[in-house]
Amino acid sequence: MIEWLVLVAGCAGVAGALRAVLVRRRRRTIPIVPDRLSPGQVGLKQFPPQGAFVQFSTPYSTSSRVSLNRLAAVTAHHAGQVTVIEIGGGPPPYRLGMRATPMVLYVDSAGVVQRRWSAPPERAELVALFAELQEPVAAASAAKSLA
């Protein structure tokens, strides 16, 4: 009886150790969300002057639709200055370290990821972000008019 207990316990221990190694190895192979995107990665020649919102979506996701509608409503008043890019049509892109959608990135004109959201951004948060973006533009135009 003891022999069977030792055999079962030994097999369970080996299986547990093997599983731990495989899980650890898998975690190391999943990269984190990038800190920089190139315009070519999202289908652009260059980013607009105030940047771009890149949203990773999945079909039939209510929160992806809510997020996209909020982004479109806020950026509609800034035509040509900022754009919204939706990347979707499949499961979450695990190669970018994402496990859920929507994932929204705000990328500035140089391609640096400035903000990340793992849920639909709030309208007030987007309005505040655009207010921050307008301050340098307003200061530069005021300086230009004084010269």
Residues 6+ apart with CB under 8 A from 83: 44, 48, 52, 53, 75
Do residues 65 and 126 share a domain? yes
Residue 122, in any domain of the structure = yes
**pLDDT tens digits for range 46-62:** 999 989 999 888 878 88
Residue 147: inside a domain:
no
> Is 88 part of a structural domain of the chain?
yes
Q: What is the pLDDT of residues 78-111, one digit of tens each?
A: 778 889 998 886 555 555 555 567 888 999 999 9
Tell me, yes or no, whether 57 and 98 share the same domain.
yes
CA–CA distance, 92 with 97 (Å, rounded to integer): 9
Q: In the chain, how many domains are there?
A: 2
| Domain span holding position 10 | 1-30
Residue 125 and residue 66 share a domain: yes
The answer on 69 and 8 residing in a single domain is no
Please give the backbone phi and psi of residue 34, each rounded to the nearest 5 degrees, phi first. Answer: -65, 155
Whether residues 97 and 129 share a domain: the answer is yes
Tell me: do 114 and 137 sit in the same domain: yes
The model carries a pTM of 0.65
Is the same domain home to 43 and 26?
A: no
